[in-house]
Amino acid sequence: MSTDSDSDATDELARDRLIDLAGEFYDQFAAGNVPAMEIPTRTKSNIVFDEDKDVWVYGDRTSTRSANSVRGAQKLLKAIYTIDFLAEQLDQDRSSTLRELYYLSESWDEERAQFSDQDESNQLVEDLEIVSEVTREDFHMRPEESGATIMGPLYLREQTRRGEREIHCQEDVGEGGYQIPNNPDTIEFLDHDADFVLCVETGGMRDRLVENGFDEEYSVIVVHLKGQPARATRRITRRLNDELDLPVVVFCDGDPWSYRIYASVAYGSIKSAHLSEYLATPTAKYIGIQPEDIVTYDLPTDPLSDSDINALESELDDPRFRDDYWTEQIELQLEIGKKAEQQALASRGLDFVTDTYLPERLTEMGVI
Amino acid sequence: MSTDSDSDATDELARDRLIDLAGEFYDQFAAGNVPAMEIPTRTKSNIVFDEDKDVWVYGDRTSTRSANSVRGAQKLLKAIYTIDFLAEQLDQDRSSTLRELYYLSESWDEERAQFSDQDESNQLVEDLEIVSEVTREDFHMRPEESGATIMGPLYLREQTRRGEREIHCQEDVGEGGYQIPNNPDTIEFLDHDADFVLCVETGGMRDRLVENGFDEEYSVIVVHLKGQPARATRRITRRLNDELDLPVVVFCDGDPWSYRIYASVAYGSIKSAHLSEYLATPTAKYIGIQPEDIVTYDLPTDPLSDSDINALESELDDPRFRDDYWTEQIELQLEIGKKAEQQALASRGLDFVTDTYLPERLTEMGVI
């Protein structure tokens, strides 16, 4: 939910958190200590399942960014300049992309505060997200990647720079659907007539569902993931689940890369486990293509490549996939040595997916 | 322009052309000849500039697909099965993706008509486009790649499967803009208040222009290219130029890959020169980033890589780039050995692009 005054309050809070952070460095200096910033270690071995919040978060291991070396001192200098820039950006109600921040640093008077490459500025913004507990979107940092589209019985209000827009995601949009904005927290859900949310990996399958009227017949909000989903896409999926209490199912190709797409929707990514609560939808279920479906529906397949096999083995080793369902499916896939795309269902006819496959799977899963 | 009866007529024409093609094979058989299909050779050496139509098209060299070998006969068999499928699809007002066609062929009774990989079915559909002179969109074959978005003073009517939608591309859309449908010929332009069209390569820059209100201040329709533009994006750009008589300028990164993006908008691609008249906007001008701008505006740069240098040299050799402007710019770039991204303009401040760079370039080019 986001009204004008709400978004002002969010901006104010983000700005305060940033300035507090700068204040902490100041206090460390004043107390005669070497300023430092402590950050959770961001590796697979340091993510743990938070039973309360039902999401994967960082564990106890931390790394320290300290000014006790020239390199460390420069990192904190860059942090201060970035905080200054972000605080001003929030004050003026402007926004910018991560890439613009990198280039903008070239205009800073203190040359040693300038970023040497974009990885450095990206990493710093992530560090600031973690320590300030404010998301990048609330710093008004836009991603390069745009969100995907929505089609379904959902009526929403989006707060744009040009005023409010009320849009029904079936009646007021073209065949292409409603384009998710970079920051979906500018959206307020007004009304809906949906029974569940179906996230779809490929554009071809998204278009098939829309052409076949699946969103109308089954009262479903179809969210196009467009491959590995952007943060905006994951955020709105989480909000649809959270605020409208709608079950979420994820429909991808049947290969290890697609299981990672599902994982990024359901569990969040390792790189941004600090955002799991904001981006992940822990109750999201995987509908298919399951390795089991390859057998059951006798789908056209491709053989697993060496990199597919490695990826599957690495998933068996990933805490997020460590349950009976995934172990069984992944082991089955390694055994049959095959993968299948979601559009392979077309080998049974163009309507097979909407008339047979999805209804059968949704019934099995208890969604319909 | 596309009303219900228009689109029925288009479907009818596409279907007739396909059936005529099958009829030709029949006549060749009946006359005791080996059936064959002649196709223009689709290489860089066989594209020529058509002075009348002002676009690059295929030259006189042709290749023949003939049934005089087992392989050739199978190709024609696959063509016949595909024609049958497409004619039925048009009859039923259905559509499908290229990938679905590939998988669907697995359900055909004659095993020898099935495609062995997707390259084969893609290639066949392109061949059919060329010989029938009907575009893939008019066969109701959807691309996998979706079109990008539009933001600007344009009021349009889209014919969707669910009825007509009238949408103003500033007032009726969110911050993300209007999502271009897969087949933009379902769109009718109702009204506009635009002076020109600005096609933008990156999402970050597209968002910058929208945030800064550039589309409102300069009455411009901002089309997001999203990297190498989809056919739908190129088609709608062509129609905006053609039907509304609006000048088109293209705004990309300053590197050889981005010049190719410009070329695909302005000249069409070598692979689909049979569609140049439908997809290309020959009067589209390149606004930047020009190699010259790197010098003039002292932009942050990256050194050219070996593959950049090879690509620039190959462009010097490309008939579509063979004019004074491009020769000068590409030679300058090889000399300075540098490239710059469009977002590098942020090194002069977030408003530099909309307050200074674009107005200066548009004035130089005589667009404003």
* Complete DSSP assignment for A41-73: --SGGGEEEETTTTEEEE-S-EEEEETTSHHHH
Closest CA to A79 of A16, A22, A12, A20: A22
Quote the radius of gyration of chain A (alpha carbons, Å).
Answer: 23
Q: What are phi and psi of A344, to 5 degrees?
A: -60, -20
Beta strand A196-200 pairing with A220-224: parallel
* B322 vs B342: which has the higher pLDDT: B342
Beta strand A47-50 pairing with A55-58: antiparallel
Indicate if A267 belongs to the active site: no
Mutate to test the interface with A, among B158, B212, B343 (most CBs of A within 10 A): B343
Alpha helical stretches, state H, B212-290: 214-217, 231-244, 256-266, 276-279
* 0.80 exceeded by pTM: yes
B204:A99 CB<8 A: yes
Reply yes or no on whether the pLDDT at B220 is more than 90. Answer: yes
Looking at the structure, tell me whether residues A119 and A211 fall in a common domain: no
Residues 182-201 of B with CB under 8 A from A: 182, 186-187
CA distances from B17 to A89, A192, B10, B86 (A): 58, 45, 11, 11
Question: Which distant-in-sequence residues (6+ apart) come within 8 Å of A184 by Cβ?
Answer: A147, A232, A235, A236, A239
For residue B3, the distance in angstroms to the closest alpha carbon of chain A comes to 15
Looking at the structure, tell me whether residues B55 and B8 fall in a common domain: yes
A104:B174 CB<8 A: no
Mutate to test the interface with A, among B347, B352, B354 (most CBs of A within 10 A): B347
Looking at the structure, tell me whether residues B30 and B90 fall in a common domain: yes
Q: Is the peptide bond before A289 cis (omega within 30 degrees of 0)?
A: yes
Give residue B202's region: left, alpha or beta (phi > 0; psi -120 to 50): beta
Q: State residue A46's pLDDT score.
A: 86
Q: State residue A274's pLDDT score.
A: 85
Distance between CA atoms of residues A99 and A78, nearest Å: 15
Residues 128-157 of A with CB under 8 A from B: 142, 144-147, 149
B347:A182 CB<8 A: no
Reply yes or no on whether the pLDDT at A265 is more than 90. Answer: yes
Q: Helices B324-336 & B306-316, crossing angle to 10 degrees?
A: 160
Q: Which of A103, A155, A218, A259 is catalytic?
A: A103
CATH label of the domain that carries residue B200: 3.40.1360.10
Residues in chain A: 368
For residue B176, the distance in angstroms to the closest alpha carbon of chain A comes to 5
Mean pLDDT of A100-104: 92
Q: State residue A2's pLDDT score.
A: 42
Mean pLDDT of A307-333: 93
Q: State residue A80's pLDDT score.
A: 93
B161:A103 CB<8 A: no
A348:B177 CB<8 A: no
Question: Could you read off the pLDDT of A170-221 as tens digits, one per residue?
Answer: 999 999 999 999 999 999 999 999 999 999 999 999 999 999 999 999 999 9
Q: Is the peptide bond before B289 cis (omega within 30 degrees of 0)?
A: yes
* Residue % of chain A over a pLDDT of 70: 99
Distance between CA atoms of residues B218 and A50, nearest Å: 51
Closest CA to A224 of A243, A212, A208, A239: A208
Reply yes or no on whether the pLDDT at B2 is more than 50. Answer: no
Residues 46-65 of B with CB under 8 A from A: none
> And the tokens for A77?
């200098």
Kindly identify which residue of chain A lies nearest to residue B227, measuring between CA atoms: A145
Q: State residue A255's pLDDT score.
A: 96
Which residues from A are below 8 Å from B180, CB to CB? 176
Residues 285-324 of A with CB under 8 A from B: 300
The ipTM, to two decimals, is 0.89
CA distances from B161 to A174, B147, B301 (A): 9, 18, 47
SS3 B365: coil
pLDDT band at A245 (very low <50, low <70, confident <90, very high): very high
Q: Catalytic site residues of B?
A: 103
Which residues from B are below 8 Å from A214, CB to CB? none
Looking at the structure, tell me whether residues B251 and B137 fall in a common domain: no
Which residues from A are below 8 Å from B176, CB to CB? 146-147, 178-182
Distance in Å from the first CA to the final CA of chain A: 28
Mutate to test the interface with B, among A105, A149, A173, A353 (most CBs of B within 10 A): A173
B95:A202 CB<8 A: no
A142:B207 CB<8 A: yes
Using an 8 Å Cβ cutoff, are A256 and A315 in contact? yes
Full residue range of the structural domain in which residue B322 is found: 149-365
What is the rounded average pLDDT for all residues in chain B? 92
Binding residue ranges of A for Mg(2+): 201, 253
Mutate to test the interface with A, among B115, B173, B201 (most CBs of A within 10 A): B173
B144:A204 CB<8 A: yes
Using a CB–CB cutoff of 8 Å, tell me whether A8 touches chain B: no
Number of domains forming the structure of chain A: 2
Reply yes or no on whether the pLDDT at A4 is more than 70. Answer: no
Q: Is A68 exposed, middle or buried (0-12, 13-18, 19+ CB in 10 A)?
A: exposed
Mutate to test the interface with B, among A93, A146, A150, A190 (most CBs of B within 10 A): A146
A103:B349 CB<8 A: no
Kindly identify which residue of chain A lies nearest to residue B183, measuring between CA atoms: A175
What is the rounded average pLDDT for all residues in chain A? 92
> And the tokens for B201?
């390569």
Which residues from A are below 8 Å from B151, CB to CB? none
Could you say which DSSP state residue B340 is in?
B
For residue A217, the distance in angstroms to the closest alpha carbon of chain B comes to 13
Mean pLDDT of B250-277: 91
Reply yes or no on whether the pLDDT at B95 is more than 50. Answer: yes
Q: State residue A266's pLDDT score.
A: 94
Give residue B253's region: left, alpha or beta (phi > 0; psi -120 to 50): beta
A100:B208 CB<8 A: yes
Looking at the structure, tell me whether residues B236 and B254 fall in a common domain: yes
Report the amino acid identity of residue A159. Answer: Q
Q: Is B77 exposed, middle or buried (0-12, 13-18, 19+ CB in 10 A)?
A: middle
For residue B104, the distance in angstroms to the closest alpha carbon of chain A comes to 4
Q: State residue A194's pLDDT score.
A: 98
Reply yes or no on whether the pLDDT at B54 is more than 80. Answer: no
Using an 8 Å Cβ cutoff, are B36 and B66 in contact? yes
Dmax (CA) of chain B = 73
Which residues from A are below 8 Å from B107, CB to CB? 347-349
Domain boundary at B142, B165, B185, which? B142
Looking at the structure, tell me whether residues A77 and A164 fall in a common domain: no
Closest CA to A143 of A164, A129, A133: A129
Question: Could you read off the pLDDT of A133-166 as tens digits, one per residue?
Answer: 899 999 999 877 777 999 999 999 999 989 999 9
Using a CB–CB cutoff of 8 Å, tell me whether B1 touches chain A: no
Which residues from A are below 8 Å from B146, CB to CB? 149, 176, 203, 207, 226
Reply yes or no on whether the pLDDT at A3 is more than 70. Answer: no
Domain boundary at B126, B142, B158, which? B142
Question: Which distant-in-sequence residues (6+ apart) come within 8 Å of B228 by Cβ?
Answer: B260, B261, B264
Looking at the structure, tell me whether residues A23 and A57 fall in a common domain: yes
Beta strand A187-192 pairing with A47-50: unpaired
SS3 B294: helix
CA B18 to chain centre: 23
Give residue A158's region: left, alpha or beta (phi > 0; psi -120 to 50): beta
CATH label of the domain that carries residue B116: 1.10.10.10
For residue B108, the distance in angstroms to the closest alpha carbon of chain A comes to 9
Closest Cβ–Cβ partner in B103, B216, B346 for A300: B103
Looking at the structure, tell me whether residues A40 and A188 fall in a common domain: no
Which residues from A are below 8 Å from B142, CB to CB? 204, 207
Question: Which distant-in-sequence residues (6+ apart) come within 8 Å of A264 by Cβ?
Answer: A228, A229, A234
Looking at the structure, tell me whether residues B138 and B202 fall in a common domain: no
CA distances from B137 to A104, A117, B235 (A): 43, 43, 11
Mean pLDDT of B55-84: 90
Using an 8 Å Cβ cutoff, are B43 and B270 in contact? yes
Looking at the structure, tell me whether residues A67 and A170 fall in a common domain: no
Could you say which DSSP state residue A340 is in?
B
Q: State residue B1's pLDDT score.
A: 41
Reply yes or no on whether the pLDDT at B352 is more than 90. Answer: yes
> And the tokens for B123?
């290639």
User: How many C-beta atoms surround the C-beta of residue A163 within 10 A?
Assistant: 8
Using a CB–CB cutoff of 8 Å, tell me whether B178 touches chain A: yes
B165:A172 CB<8 A: yes
Looking at the structure, tell me whether residues A108 and A208 fall in a common domain: no
Domain boundary at B108, B142, B176, which? B142
Residues in chain B: 368
The DSSP H or E segment spanning B123 is helix B118-132
Looking at the structure, tell me whether residues A158 and A53 fall in a common domain: no
Closest Cβ–Cβ partner in A167, A171, A202 for B144: A202
